[in-house]
Amino acid sequence: MARIVQKFGGTSVADVERIKKVAQRVKCEVDCGSEVAVVVSAMAGATNQLIAWTRETSLLHDAREYDVVISAGEQVTAGLLALALQDLGIDARSWQIPIATDGVHGKARIESIDAAEFRRRLAQGQVGVVAGFQGIGPRGRITTLGRGGSDTSAVALAAALEADRCDIFTDVDGVYTTDPRIVAKARKLDRITYEEMLEMASQGAKVLQTRSVEMAMNHRVRVQVLSSFSDTPGTLVVDEDEIVEKRVVSGIAYSRDEAKITVQGVPDRPGVAAAIFGPLADDAINVDMIVQSASEDGRTADLTFTVARADLDRAVSVLEKGRKGIGFAALKPDPNVVKVSVIGIGMRSHAGVAKQMFQTLADKGINIQVISTSEIKVSVLIAAEYTELALRALHTAYGLDAAG
Amino acid sequence: MARIVQKFGGTSVADVERIKKVAQRVKCEVDCGSEVAVVVSAMAGATNQLIAWTRETSLLHDAREYDVVISAGEQVTAGLLALALQDLGIDARSWQIPIATDGVHGKARIESIDAAEFRRRLAQGQVGVVAGFQGIGPRGRITTLGRGGSDTSAVALAAALEADRCDIFTDVDGVYTTDPRIVAKARKLDRITYEEMLEMASQGAKVLQTRSVEMAMNHRVRVQVLSSFSDTPGTLVVDEDEIVEKRVVSGIAYSRDEAKITVQGVPDRPGVAAAIFGPLADDAINVDMIVQSASEDGRTADLTFTVARADLDRAVSVLEKGRKGIGFAALKPDPNVVKVSVIGIGMRSHAGVAKQMFQTLADKGINIQVISTSEIKVSVLIAAEYTELALRALHTAYGLDAAG
């Protein structure tokens, strides 16, 4: 008998009507003879309202009280879904926080799940409904996992229950080769490896939260991404062994959440990189891609790197403050960039992927500003206005276009 | 140093603006050097929304899941108020459910409060904010105390903390001699005894919940009813000993929540009352006032009694079902009645209160349909259309009118 965890996001439980539909879906799985645990998000909009209230109340809010307020949203959905399931004649109950986390309120990490009693009930045929996105900290106070944390709750619960599968119901029907809103010929993938999914998620595909994919990979939880609004099968995120035909490139991701900073005329002496990146790190600003190029006079260099777009202003002010110490000539911030990444585990054994990418972009007259690579990924930074052109050209070049 | 519990109802915390005003009020008490614990209701409207969702989801809902959903409202307010207090520079935190209840979900009774840690924090100057209306049942699941239960939470907490006073902030500024919306000359009482307040509450004055008054009386908690929208002192509900000048009549209450049933032509034989009231009790219908009168033929009697107006239809159908067994001639339901009660501990030592009531009503041509009395109360049932006339006449007759 299969043991399944099903997770439903905010748009899937946006109102009572949809919660009842979710209950129907859960019932199907129960009728198939599966043991079912369900993880729910807050009703769409509820969390935003709660966050707005905390902001209105106090700008410098205590993260512990913030968590008390915010976690109420999922609690409501959990109770309502349990009621909706009972209404269909299914034995169901909601559970508060069987999930122990560390004490980092607002973005707590799951430490353990005491699932013994929960599991016993599942085995008796009772459906367990768990409020996602939250847990209980070391001092007995409610914690939240950070936005999108319900995915992580679901995968962690699936790991603790040794579930056969963790179904993540969302508003898209799977993982695509690239964003189908931009590339009409994008195809839904039947399967994708954890490593690829992790790169897709961290490179901008917003289907699954990065942390939940990491956790799935570490605990070998089979995750399925599928739509709660259609009945088609979704995309399975699985171990490499489960994928028979390995593609060289599986998908193309892009992220608009990038900004570029060029520091011009940096003196070419030891310690200068530390003088630039040290203060940024101290201010919790993550630097992603970096490239250094010699300037024409040969004595100074230009340093170009990317930060999250939300951090751009802060990064500039940090650098300006250190200008004297570093001794650079000029600072050029540029928010109008996009990072495009081609991703595929087949790259490990196939050469030429990067070359094909550069050639394809060059053929379209798109200038590459920064490059970074990993074992299964090549990323380039380009001007934002070329986003759609680049995605379509690369999608065709790597043979990902849907037939017809 | 005084230890104070302050309770704020739904209209007092209806939005963030008001929550901030509540924080200001709490701050005043803290600045005076008091230890302060605060009990909050859900933001006005929030509970109704949550109840509507549970009804929409499932008509025959599981009370345990209902409680999970409904209790979220107070949790949100508790977190927000803690934030608002911190924003004013006050050390404050919210507490989940240090209140143990029995397992009767939806109307649980408080059994104990583990206040040791809570009290230690208060002594250190930290303000403790508690979500009212809820507790935790014997199996670790959230329970609610039933609507209005936040008053009871506050009084129970005050008893557990041995607080000097429990301030109940509401939308009226105290307890009046009668409803000021009907009698313009109604006066606010400075003090009232537990016994009188209990009668006022159970006879229709909706200022405090009956259970909270019972609990205050049992634990000798000094309760103050006052407005969160004005700065005037309210009404103290205290022990008889604290009231120097005892009035014969303290107040006049009325309840429209009554309905009358007359059973005509009941055979005058033993066991007939049991045949009538037994099935009503079995159906959980409370009977309040009862009067029996012989009919003209001398062989049968008429039996008149009152039930809650909401129970009227059900009571009639229960009686009709038993008609054959009881053998009555006719059933006359009448929802157009009101119960008016004069209340005062002075009655114990003063005769003539009832007589004065009957005379006053007779002078105005108001017919009394049923009478019931207790040690400190005389109640009469009259036609609903005379409500205002009766209240004004009695208020004047007992010398309660405000001067000027």
pLDDT at residue A147, rounded to an integer: 67
Residue A43: its pLDDT value, please? 95
Question: Going residue by residue through chain A (404 aa), what tens digit of pLDDT does each one get?
Answer: 899 999 999 999 999 999 999 999 999 999 999 999 999 999 999 989 999 999 999 887 789 999 999 999 999 999 999 999 999 999 999 998 789 999 999 889 999 999 999 999 999 999 999 999 999 999 889 999 976 789 999 999 999 999 999 999 988 889 999 999 999 999 999 999 999 999 988 776 778 888 899 999 999 999 999 998 888 899 999 999 888 777 889 999 999 999 999 999 998 887 888 889 999 999 889 999 999 887 777 788 899 999 999 999 999 999 999 898 888 999 999 999 999 999 999 888 888 899 999 999 999 999 999 999 988 999 999 999 999 999 999 999 999 998 76
φ, ψ (nearest 5 deg) of residue B181: -70, -20
| Vertex A248: Cα angle to A242 and A254 (nearest 5) | 100
Compute the nearest-CA separation of B304 from chain A (Å): 42
Span B111-134, average pLDDT: 94
Q: Does A142 touch chain B (CB under 8 A)?
A: yes
Which chain A residues have a beta carbon less than 8 Å from that of B75? 68-69, 71-72, 75
pLDDT at position B33 is: 94
The number of helices, as runs of H, and strands, as runs of E, in chain A is: 13, 20
Grade residue B141 by pLDDT with cuts at 50, 70 and 90: very high
Between B389 and B98, residue with greater pLDDT = B389
Measured between beta carbons, the chain B residues lying within 8 angstroms of A133 are none
Name the nearest CA neighbour of B185 among B252, B247, B254, B232. Answer: B252
Tokens in use for A389? 């052109």
pLDDT of residue A210: 86
* pLDDT: which is higher, A98 or B342: B342
Look at the block and give the residue holding tokens 């900290």: A137
Give the count of alpha carbons within 13 A of A180, CB side only: 13
Q: Are strands A287-294 and A251-255 parallel, antiparallel or unpaired?
A: unpaired
The answer to whether residue B228 scores a pLDDT higher than 90 is no
- C-alpha separations of B53 from A221, B19, B49, B399 in Å: 34, 25, 6, 49
Q: pTM to 2 decimals?
A: 0.83
DSSP symbol at B125: T
- Other CB atoms within a 10 A radius of the CB of residue A278 amount to 12
Residue B373 touches partner A, C-beta closer than 8 Å: no
**Best to test chain B binding among A80, A97, A130 (most B CBs inside 10 Å):** A80
DSSP secondary structure of B288-330: EEEEEEE-TTSSEEEEEEEEEGGGHHHHHHHHHHTHHHHT-SE
> For residue B307, how many C-alpha atoms fall within 13 Å in the half-sphere facing its CB?
21
Cα torsion angle, B191, B197, B199, B200, sign = positive
Chain B: give the shortest CA distance to residue A208, in Å.
Answer: 28
Please give the backbone phi and psi of residue A346, each rounded to the nearest 5 degrees, phi first: -65, -20
CA–CA separation, A111 and A296 (whole Å): 53
Residue B94 to residue A20, Cβ atoms within 8 A: no
Question: Pick from A154, A223, A149: which is nearest to A193 by CA?
Answer: A223
| A72–B69 CB contact, under 8 Å | no
Residue type at position A97: I
For residues B118, B124, B129, B130, the Cα torsion angle rounded to the nearest 10 degrees is: 10
Burial string for A35-57 (b: 16+ CB within 10 Å, else e) reads: bbbbbbbbbbebbeebbebbebb
CA-based nearest residue to B368, from B338, B332, B343, B334: B338
What is the separation of C-alpha A342 from the centre of its chain, rounded to a whole number of angstroms? 17
Inter-chain residue contact B94 with A68, CB threshold 8 Å: yes
Angle between helices A46-57 and B16-31 (to 10 degrees): 40
| pLDDT of B60 | 77
Task: Tell me the DSSP string of A48-68.
Answer: HHHHHHHHHH-SS--HHHHHH
- Interchain contact A103–B (C-beta under 8 A): no
Phi and psi dihedrals of B244, rounded to 5? -80, -55
**In the predicted model, what is the mean pLDDT of chain B?**
92
Which of B47, B69, B139 has the highest number of chain A CBs within 10 A, making it the mutation to test binding with A?
B69
Taking only the tens place, the pLDDT of each residue in B349-384 is 888 899 999 999 999 999 999 999 988 999 999 999
Strands B377-383 and B337-343: antiparallel
Question: A with B: how many residue pairs have Cβ under 8 Å apart?
Answer: 116
Q: Which residue has the higher pLDDT, B13 or A402?
A: B13
The verdict on a CB contact (< 8 Å) between B53 and A80 is yes
Task: Catalogue all structural domains in chain B, each as residue range(s) with its CATH number.
Answer: 3-171 (3.40.1160.10)
